[in-house]
Structure 1
Amino acid sequence: MKSIKIVLSLWVVTFALAAKAAPLLNGLALEKQFNKDIYIAAIYSESLTRDSTTLLDNNIPRRLEVRVITKSLPARRLRNQWMEAIAINNRGDTLSGQAENMVTFANLFNGRFAHGDQLSIEFAADTGSTTISLNSIRLGEIADPDFFNTLLRAWIGPVPPSTDFKDGLLSAGQVSGNLVTTFESLAPTSERVAELQLKKISREEAETAAVEEAPAETSVPKPAIQIADLPPPTLALAATAPAAAVPSGTGSPEGANEQNPQLEEVAPTQAEDEVELITLPPEGGPALAADTEDMMEDEEEAPLTADMILARQIYHSSLLRHTFRYIRYPKRAQERGQEGSVRLNVTIGSQGQLIDIQPIQESRFSSLNREAQAAVRRAEPYPGVPMQLGADSYNFSIPITFRLPD
């Protein structure tokens, strides 16, 4: 009897320790594009906190999740959005040091995500490795203790997708019941899981055959899992960029900069923690583009390399800074105390000529929406597309936050 009690006590202690170390849901954030729900992001940690610094502690295990709401989401869109958010929330030396890992991470995703897909990115504090899985099927692993935080800063760094997005993830477990219910209901079908498992088996068989047929000195790169061949999607994801508090006045762009040094303080490669962002969701604003299918078409893209990723990050930074010089705060909006955020998807030609502007998110005030687009038009021509990107046109997104001084 005594030995049974000892065993039972040991089991209880072990269970308690395991329960203590189990990841807890720290927060959820809903990503909306074109007034429609795209996915829910989640952060899990062994301790609940509202402090981003605590969540960036490499001594604790953590997990990021993305659960897809929309019917179909091109993996490349999500990947590029994440890559640009990484670029504006990490220092330049971090980007350079993580370039190869970002290539590995980016190349894990091809095809499209489907409704209910669960993308999991888990950090093991004991080994310092990050494991990426889709619907519990392992895609790959990156054995670099600093890589997970490079990804995490894209969500909770000084320039997150939006203030609401960051606040939702840093809610210390105080999450809306409705959002939790939606999040927990998102799961892949058994057919979807079986499809991905078959793809993985086929991939592994192809790798084995290639290795057997290749000369001994030839290394064979691992192809990424093809996510799915789904019907054309109906929504668009665009990459995010740092928001800016816009100064008053209608003077020249240079004069506007002098009145608002904040525009020069938000450095994409060296963002400071004290940058404050306020993003308001659209409430009754003008209707967004109804037909976004064209923006969601899969585009041909050259294979990613570390040099290309860094070149894109530097160019993206220059485009944002260039645009911010031309932003003005509408006088009437200031007088009425109107604030809000606008996110635009911009396409430019190889010589920097403006080709297209599409609103991704609009504020509830038409004057702010008009000014955001007017600023983009005033900024033409943009810096030309770098030759190393090998593109005739370039697409980027820019969020503009209009915020009055306290």
Structure 2
Amino acid sequence: MDIQGTAAGDAAIVRKVSETVTTAKEPSKNLVSQPSKWLKRLFKGMAIMTALGLTSLAAAQSNLVMNGSSVYADLGKDQFAAALYLETQQQNPGITHSMQGQKRMEVRVLNNYSKRRWFNLWMQSISINNSRETFSDSAQDLITLMQAPKSAPKRGDFIEYLSSPDRGTSMRFNGTELVAGLPSEVFALLLNTWIGAIPPTTSFKNEILGKQSNPEAVALLKTVTTDPQRVSLAASWILPPEPAAVAERLTERATTVKSVISVNPKAKLAAVATTANIGTKPIATQGQSEEQNKEQSAAVKLIADSDNAGSKSGSLAKASVETVAADSEINADIEDEVDFSITEALAMRDYTPLVVQKIYKKISYPSRAIDRGLEGTVRMSIVVSKSGALKKVIVAQKSRHSILNKAAIKATERAAPFPELPAALNTDHFEITVPITFKLK
């Protein structure tokens, strides 16, 4: 295909439209009767020129090598497969951040999400892995990134976050670029959720950095495919709407919003994995004193790790999972109308570390477990009421040793009550998943 020739031809069409509009005493009857035809040609020419500008970026991204891959699991279910691509493989997280050149984070969704749950998943992880100042500076860009897809992520969707020295941070959803030109700091915030101080688990971080291999993650990235209808849907988000369709969509949106108002607010789900370091200097939250940090010192180090968590249970969705996924898809139709604000994002950023750090400060490695050399990961799922009371405690994933499970429950219960929920969160309860790994030095 002669791209330059096509672009030149489309440019001529644009000039023809301009001349017709400016020189004719009366509007061209043919032009007025067929506006969509000329608009389609105009946008086609613009799309071709955009494609030419993206050619060099695509070539650079295609030359990247997989640095590592892993699977993110929550409540015993695989949620997405992840991979990091760099120009050269790098196992040091600091160098990975600072190195120049192209970078890409890939996500293959393995379970249906609502937009609210997807937003909470990323925002909470970003909150505990980055400073408040850094988060605040990029809050609007993060919201832009998360709201770009017009549909909640579904099983099989393929999401890419890209970093380029020339184009900053961009995002592709099922092959369609929805966002481009955001600051490079946005990509750094996202990457920190995988290789920062508090990743989902230490094994997840090590696998993304290439220190450990995960053949299952590689297989999932290759074998789980995207529904062609989802590919077409993503492409339709950047096409100009037909005039008749605009009026129809406005009517539908008004009806949908009216329906949303009559529906009781849904529980805001949030999944975030954290790391507790006892015996090393902990990550200080805003307003936390040095004396409080010292209180967290102990002889044994606890770090988030999935080696004993049994997170890699099964990668293909089971029948029960599919049922939940179907319900999630229905709920997502309502929740997709929710708009995320900077105020809400900042409130979540401030509140999440308070809950996590308060639980970690109460963790105590049982002496009997130390004597017997017992290690393991316990994943806690908790619900905090609006007043800060602990409404529910669930051991979402048990370790092989009941003594460690009981220690995790005890730490969570001792940490309560928590601070009141910020009004900006606009919910009567807050749900969060906290993994606690007991690992001997």
Q: What TM-score, normalized by structure 2, do the two folds share?
A: 0.68
Structure 1 position 76 matched with structure 2 position 99: no
Displacement, 1:337? 1.2
Matched residues in 2 for 1:20 and 1:190: separation? Answer: 23
Kept after mapping to 2: 8 A contact 1:340/1:402: yes
Q: Distance in 2 between matches of 1:157 and 1:187?
A: 29
Q: Which position in structure 2 is the counterpart of 1:167? A: 206
Alignment match of 1:182 (pick from 211, 215, 220): 220
Q: CA deviation at 1:80?
A: 1.5
Q: Give, as a single letter, the amino acid of the residue that structure 1 aligns with 2:271.
A: A
1:360 is aligned to 2:396: yes
AA partner of residue 393 (structure 1): H
Q: Given that residues 90 and 270 in structure 1 are in contact (C-alpha distance below 8 angstroms), is that contact kept between their aligned partners in structure 2?
A: no
Q: What letter is aligned with 1:135?
A: N
- Residues 152-200 of structure 1: per-residue CA shift (max 9 Å, x gap): 111111111111111111117x744443233211221323322333455
Residue type at the aligned position of 1:169: I
* Residue 101 of structure 2, aligned match among 60, 63, 74: 60
- Compared CA separation, residues 393 and 59, structure 1 to 2 (3 A): same
How far does residue 241 in structure 1 lie from its aligned partner after superposition?
A: 4.1
Quote how far apart the aligned CAs of 1:339 are.
Answer: 1.7
Match of 1:146 in 2: 185
- Give the aligned partner of residue 121 of structure 1: 161
SS of match in other structure, 1:153 = helix
Q: How far apart in 1 are the matches of 2:156 and 2:135?
A: 31
Which residue of structure 2 aligns with residue 252 of structure 1?
Answer: none
User: Structure 2 vs 1, CA of residues 269 and 51 (structure 1 numbering), >3 Å: closer, same or farther?
Assistant: farther
**Which residue does 1:34 correspond to in 2?**
75
Within 1, Cα distance between the matches of 2:80 and 2:202? Answer: 17
2:195 counterpart (156, 174, 198): 156
Q: Deviations over 1:191-239 (max 9, x none)?
A: 332233345547x5589959xx9xxxxxxxxxxxxxxxxxxxxxx9842
How much does 1:55 deviate? 1.9
Structure-2 change in CA distance of 1:303 and 1:74 (3 Å): closer
With over 3 angstroms needed to count, the CA separation of the structure-2 counterparts of 1:237 and 1:163, relative to structure 1, is farther
Aligned partner (choices 346, 362, 366) of residue 310 of structure 1: 346
Unaligned regions of 5+ residues in structure 2, if any? 1-55, 251-267, 289-300, 314-319
Q: Is the alpha carbon distance of 1:317 and 1:178 closer, same or farther for their aligned partners in structure 2, counting shifts above 3 Å?
A: closer
Gapped regions of structure 1 (runs ≥ 5): 1-14, 214-235, 247-259
| Higher mean displacement: 39-48 or 339-348 | 339-348
Measured in 2, the distance between the counterparts of 1:209 and 1:153 equals 40
Residue 36 of structure 2 corresponds to none
CA–CA distance in structure 2, aligned partners of residues 325 and 207 of structure 1: 59
* Alpha-carbon separation, structure 1, partners of 2:393 and 2:151: 26
% identical equivalent positions? 29
In the alignment, the residues of structure 2 paired with residue 372 and residue 138 of structure 1 have an alpha-carbon distance, to the nearest angstrom, of 43
Per-residue deviation, 1:98:
1.1
| TM-score, length basis structure 1 | 0.73
Q: What letter is aligned with 1:375? A: A
Q: Bigger CA drift: 185-194 or 129-138?
A: 185-194
**Which is greater in Rg?**
2
Amino acid paired to 1:240: V
Q: Distance in 2 between matches of 1:151 and 1:338?
A: 34
Counterpart of 1:50 in structure 2 is 91
Q: Please tell me the root mean square deviation across aligned C-alpha atoms, in Å.
A: 3.6
| The structure with more helix, counted as a fraction of residues | 2
- 1:164 partner amino acid: S
Match of 2:127 in 1: 87
